[in-house]
A and B are shown apart, each in its own frame.
Chain A
Amino acid sequence: MQKISFALGKQALLSYGKSISVFSFVFEIIYEIKNFFLQRKITRLILIRQILFTGFEALGLITFVAIAVGGIIILEGSAILPDFGQSKLLYTILVIIILRELGGLLTAFIIIARSGTAIAAELGNMVVNQEVESLVSFGISPVLYLVVPRVLGVVLSMIALNIYFNVAALAGGWFMAYLFAPIPLLDFLNKLFSEISVNDIASSFIKSLLFGFVIAVVSSYQGLQVSFASTEVPQRTIKAVVLSLIWVILFDIIITAIMYLV
C-alpha cells in the first residue's frame, strides 16, 4: 500500500503537465513523514525556517487580532447579557466563540494569507527554476524535502499560534471585562475554566492540526502544479488561497458537527 501510494505520488511529480491526484499526494505526504525523521539532517533546517516564518513571525499579528476579538466579544456581550440576568453566559460565549470557533478559524485565515500564499508561490517558482527537478535528480523526494517540512511546520505553527490566539483572546476578554467591572484574574480564570471542557481543548487542538495540514497540503499541491512558466505562479497562488479557505471552513463544520452534535 505504501509502495503503491509512493509510486503514485512520485509518478505524479515526475509527469509534469499531467494532473496529479490530490489523494496520492496526501498519501505520499503521510508516507514521507516517517522518512522525514530518518532524513532530519537535510530537512530539519527547512522545518525550522518554516516554523520561524509561519509561526513566530505571525505571532504579533495573531496576538493583536486575538486581543481585539476577545475584547470585542466581552464588549458586545456585556452590553446585552446582563439585561437577561445571564451575565455568567459571558464566559460560555467567550469559550464557545474563541476556543471552539474563532481561534482556529482566524488563525487559519491569517496563516492562509501569510504562509499559504508564500508556500504556493515559493514552490511554484521552485518548479520554474528547476529546483524541484534538481531534488529529484539527487534522489531526494520533493515531497519529503519540500512538502513534508512545510506541512509539519505549518501544522506545528498552527497549533502553537492557535494556543497563543486563545490565550491572547481570553486575556483581551479579561482586560475588557476588568474595565467594566474589576474581576480578579483568578476569579476570571476559575469561572472560565468551569466553562471549558476537555472536549473544547481537544476540538481546538484537532482543528488547528487539521487546518494546518489542509492549508499546507493545498498550498504545496497548487505550488507544485506549476509546470514551467512563472506566469502560472500567481494563478496557482490565488487557487491555493481560495481552496484553502473552502477546505478549512468545510473541515470546521465537519469537526464541530462531530464533536458537539454526535
Chain B
Amino acid sequence: MQKLEANNVFYKKENQILSDFSFSFDEHLYGILSDQQEENSNVLKVLAGLREPDQGNILLDGKNVYTTFQKKERAIRKQIGFVFQYGGLLSNLSVLENLLVPYDFHFPEISLGEKKGKISGFMALFGLSEKILNERPAKLTISARKALLFIRTYLTEPKIIFYDDPFINCNLQIKKTILQLILKLKEKQIIQIFCESIDEQLYELADKVILLQQGKLYSSNTFKEFKKSNSEFVTGLISKLLAE
C-alpha cells in the first residue's frame, strides 16, 4: 500500500504556490486544479521532490522525499516518475541513450538486450519508428519527444507518476496511447497525479480532483461532483479549463 503524504507544505516563489497544504495520496489517479494555472508545474515538482518546500514535508511511505542520504534518496527516486511538460531529454545524448539513463541507473542488473526489448515494445506502442533511437532529440518532432518522456518514465516502472500537462504537444495517436496507459496503471493501483490545462477528459477519469485556491487546499472531490457545484470559484476554474 503506497502512500504519499504532504504535511503543512508551504512553498513560495513570486506567489504563494503552496500554503499550508496537507493531503494524503493513495493508489488512485489524482488531478490538481489550481487558480494559478501557470504554477501547476511547481506544485507537482514540490510534491515530486524536485522543489524543496519552505516548510512542511512530503513523505513517501513515511519517508521524507527530501532526504540528504544518497542511498535512501535513490531508493525513493526509483519509485517516483515525473513526466515533464516539455524538454527534459538530454540534448547531447541519442534517444536510446536518453531512455537508458534512468533505466541503467536504477536497474544496472538488467542486461542491455532485455532493456532494448522493452524499449522496442514501448516504441511500437507509441507508434514510433525504432530508427529514431540513434537520433538526437532535437531531430525529432515535438510529439515524438513528448512520447519519449512517457516511455522513459514507464521503463523504470515507478510506483508514483506525476504528469505535468500530459496532453500538451501530443498528437492524437500518442494522446490515445497515454490515456490507455494511464487507465491501465490506474487499475494496477499506481499513484498518478496530474495537472492538465487543455483537456478536461483526464479530470473526468480521475478518482479525485484537488482544487487549490492561492495555494491553499480548497476542496477535493470527483470532477462530476465539482461540475454540479454552485461555488463561484469551482465553476470559474472548470469553465476556464473547458474554454482552453
Contacts and interface: CB of A to CB of B under 8 A. Distances in A.
Interface of A: 3, 6-7, 10-11, 14-17, 35, 39, 41-42, 45-46, 49, 122, 125-126, 128-131, 133-141, 145
Contacts of A11: 52
B90 A126 contact: yes
A138 B68 contact: no
Contacts, number: 85
Q: Provide the main secondary structure of the chain A interface.
A: helix
A112 to B, nearest CB: 20
B164 to A, nearest CB: 9
A122 B48 CA distance: 25
Interface of B: 13, 45, 48-52, 66, 68-70, 73-74, 76-78, 80-82, 84-93, 97, 100-102, 104-106, 108, 156
B88 A139 contact: no
A132 to B, nearest CB: 9
B87 A131 contact: yes
A232 to B, nearest CB: 15
A201 B28 CA distance: 65
Contacts of B51: 14-16
B9 to A, nearest CB: 15
Contact of A129 (B74, B82, B88): B88
6 contacts: A42-B101, A126-B90, A131-B87, A134-B87, A138-B102, A140-B101
Given A3-B68, A42-B101, A138 B77 contact: yes
Q: Which 8 A-B pairs have the closest CB atoms?
A: A139-B77, A129-B87, A7-B68, A138-B102, A130-B87, A134-B88, A137-B82, A130-B88
Contacts of B78: 139
B160 to A, nearest CB: 11
B52 A131 contact: no
A140 B105 contact: yes
**Residue among A3, A41, A130, A136 with max Cβ neighbours from chain B (10 Å):** A130
A139 B73 contact: yes
Contacts of B90: 126, 131, 134-135
A15 B50 CA distance: 9
A129 B91 contact: yes
